[in-house]
Amino acid sequence: MRTKSVEQSIRDTDEPDTKLRKDLGTWDLIVFGVAVVVGAGIFTLAASTAGNIAGPSVSLAFVIAAIACGLAALCYAEFASCVPVAGSAYTFSYATAGEFVAWIIGWDLVLEFAVGSAVVAKGWSVYLGQVLELVFGVEVSTSVDLGGFFGFDWGALLLVVVLTTLLYLGTKLSSRVSFVMTAIKVAIVLFVVVLGLFYVRAANYSPFIPPAAEGGDTKTGLTQSLLSFIGGGGSSTFGIYGLLAAASIVFFAFIGFDVVATTAEETRNPQKSLPRGIIGSLVIVTVLYVAVSLVLTGMVPYTELATSPSGDKATLATAFTSLGVDWAAAIISVGALAGLTTVVMVLLLGQTRVLYAMSRDGLLPRGLSRTGTHGTPERATLLVGAVVGVVATFFPAGALEEMVNIGTLFAFVLVSIGVVILRRTRPDLPRAFRTPLVPLVPILAVLACVWLMLNLTIETWLRFVIWMIIGIVVYFSYGRSHSLLGRGIGVKD
C-alpha cells in the first residue's frame, strides 16, 4: 500500500535517461482524443448494437455511456492538472491508493490499450479489403486461414508495423499524421449525417425501445448481462435490459479519451492543456455519436441491422447499401479505414506510455523506460508494437470488446475514488482544474461505471477475474521485489 508522492513523480520526469520531449499543445491533445475515440464505435458498433440489442434506442445508449464517461473525465482532468506525469490512471493511483492498486490499474490498461489496438487493427484489415474492392475493383483477402485456431492477417500486420515506426520516430510526427486522418474521418461522419437526413423516416423510430427478446438471438445464461441475471430478466436482448446492456457495449466507442492523460509529460502546458484536451474531445465525439445513431436508425428499420445468419455484422455502410446508395458506402469505407488507423495509433501510444511509466518505477524491467534520440521510449514502443503485431496477425479477434470495457470501467472507478482521496490527503496541491461538486461528482462517476459493469455479460466477468489473478501473480513474483519505491532507490522526501 506504499504510495509515491506527487513531488517524487514529477521529479522523475527530469531524469536525463528517461526524459520525454515536450512537443504537444491543446489542439494536439484534442486531435489525439477525437482520433482514438471516433473509430470502431461509430463505424461498426452503432449499427450492430441497434440491430441486435437496443433498436432505435441505441442513441439513448450512447447518451448513457457518455454521461458515465463525462463524470469520469472530470475526475481525470483534475488528476492530470495536478499530476502531469505519464501513465494516466496508473500514475494517479500510485499517488493515492498505493502501489498494488496502481499495478492493478496498469494491468487493466493493458486490456484497454494493447488488446483494444489488436482488435481494431483486425477491423482495419477488413475495411482495407472492402476499400480495395469498392474503390479500386481489386478483390483480395487480407487474411489467410492457417487452419484451426490461427490465421495470418497481413493487413493488420502492415498497419501495426507502419504505426509503430511513426511512434518510434516521435510523438509530434504521430500527431501530424493523426490530424490528417482525423480530419478525413470527421468529414466522412458529417457526410453520413447530412446525406442520411434525406432518407430518414419517422416510422423507423417506432418502437423506440423494442419489446424484450423480440427478434434476433436472445442473450441468456452466461451470455446475458449480470444485471439481467440478478434481476431475473432472463434475457438482455431489447427492452429495458437491452438498452442498459447496449450502453455498456457502446461504451467501447468512447474508450480512449483517457489516452490524452498518458501524454502529460509530452505536453508544453499540461495543467491547462490536459483538462481541455480530455473534456473537449469527449464533447465533440458525443455530439457526433448521437447524431449518427439517430440518422442511422431513422434510415432503415432496426431489424435490417441485425447480424445476418452467416455471421456478418451490420456497419455504418449497411444502411446505405440496403437503400441502394452504394457510392456512399464506398466513401464510408474509406472514412472507416482512416478512422481506424488513428484509433490503433493512439491506443499504441497509450500502451507505450503506461509501460514506460511502470518500468520507470521498477515494476517492469527498467530498460523499457529508456528514451532515445527521438525523445520517445524506443524500447517500449518496439516491444508493444511487436506484441500487438503478433496478436493482431495470428489470433482471431473474438468478442474482446467487452473485456476492454470492463477493464477500462474498473480503472475509471479507481480514478474517481482517487480524486476524493487526494483532496483529503493533499489539499495543498495546486490544481489548474478542479472537479466540481466533490465528492458528489466522483461518487456519481463510480456509480455510473459500476452500473455499466453490471450490464456486461457473466462470461466477461469470469474472464476479467482470471485476468486479474494473472496480474496479481506477476506483481508478487516480479514487481513487488523490483519496485524502486520499495527498495528506496531515488526516493526523496
pLDDT at 194 over 90: yes
Q: How far is CA 420 from the centre of its chain?
A: 24
pLDDT at 295 over 90: yes
Mean pLDDT of 437-452: 90
Mean pLDDT of 199-205: 92
Rg, the chain, Cα only: 22
β-strand partners of 153: 143
pLDDT digits (tens, 9 = 90+) for 65-118: 888 888 888 888 888 777 777 666 787 788 888 899 889 888 888 777 888 888
pLDDT digits (tens, 9 = 90+) for 327-354: 888 888 888 888 788 888 878 888 888 8
Architecture of domain 6-11+22-487: Up-down Bundle (1.20)
Mean pLDDT of 17-25: 70
How many CA atoms does the CB half-sphere of 462 hold within 13 Å? 7
Q: How far is CA 365 from the centre of its chain?
A: 26
Q: How far is CA 217 from the centre of its chain?
A: 27
Most confident of 19-33, 178-192, 211-225, 468-482: 468-482
pLDDT band at 444 (very low <50, low <70, confident <90, very high): very high
Which pLDDT score is estimated for 148? 63
pLDDT band at 235 (very low <50, low <70, confident <90, very high): low
**CA gap 287, 279 in Å, rounded:** 13
Mean pLDDT of 158-173: 84
Which pLDDT score is estimated for 328? 86
Helix ranges (DSSP H) in 361-439: 378-394, 401-425
Mean pLDDT of 476-484: 89
Average pLDDT, the chain: 80
DSSP reduced 3-state for 314? coil
Percent of the chain exceeding pLDDT 90 equals 14
DSSP reduced 3-state for 43? helix
Q: How far is CA 31 from the centre of its chain?
A: 15
Mean pLDDT of 440-448: 93
| Domain boundary assignment for the chain | 6-11+22-487
Residue showing cell 461504451: 251
pLDDT digits (tens, 9 = 90+) for 301-326: 988 888 776 656 777 778 888 888 88
pLDDT band at 492 (very low <50, low <70, confident <90, very high): very low
Mean pLDDT of 416-441: 87
Mean pLDDT of 149-167: 87
pLDDT digits (tens, 9 = 90+) for 260-279: 766 666 778 777 787 888 88
* DSSP state letters, 55-85: GGGHHHHHHHHHHHHHHHHHHHHHHHHH---
Beta strands, E only, 431-481: none
β-strand partners of 24: 267
Here the cell at position 136 is 479500386
Which pLDDT score is estimated for 173? 66
Mean pLDDT of 388-397: 83
Mean pLDDT of 359-364: 87
Which pLDDT score is estimated for 60? 92
Length of the chain: 493
**CA gap 281, 32 in Å, rounded:** 8
CB of 368 within 8 A of CB of 386? no
Mean pLDDT of 140-163: 83
Beta strands, E only, 194-307: none
Better pLDDT: 491 or 281: 281
pLDDT at 454 over 80: yes
Which pLDDT score is estimated for 475? 93
Mean pLDDT of 369-396: 84
Q: How many helices and strands, by DSSP H and E, does the chain display?
A: 22, 2
Which pLDDT score is estimated for 145? 76
Which letter does DSSP use for residue 312 in this model?
Answer: P
β-strand partners of 145: 151
What angle in degrees, to the nearest 10, is found between the helix axes of 401-425 and 239-250? 70
Which pLDDT score is estimated for 306? 82
Which pLDDT score is estimated for 106? 87
| Amino acid at site 354 | V
CB of 362 within 8 A of CB of 487? yes
pLDDT at 399 over 60: no
How many CA atoms does the CB half-sphere of 54 hold within 13 Å? 25
Which pLDDT score is estimated for 493? 40
CB of 408 within 8 A of CB of 449? no
Which pLDDT score is estimated for 160? 94
Which pLDDT score is estimated for 217? 44
Which pLDDT score is estimated for 227? 61
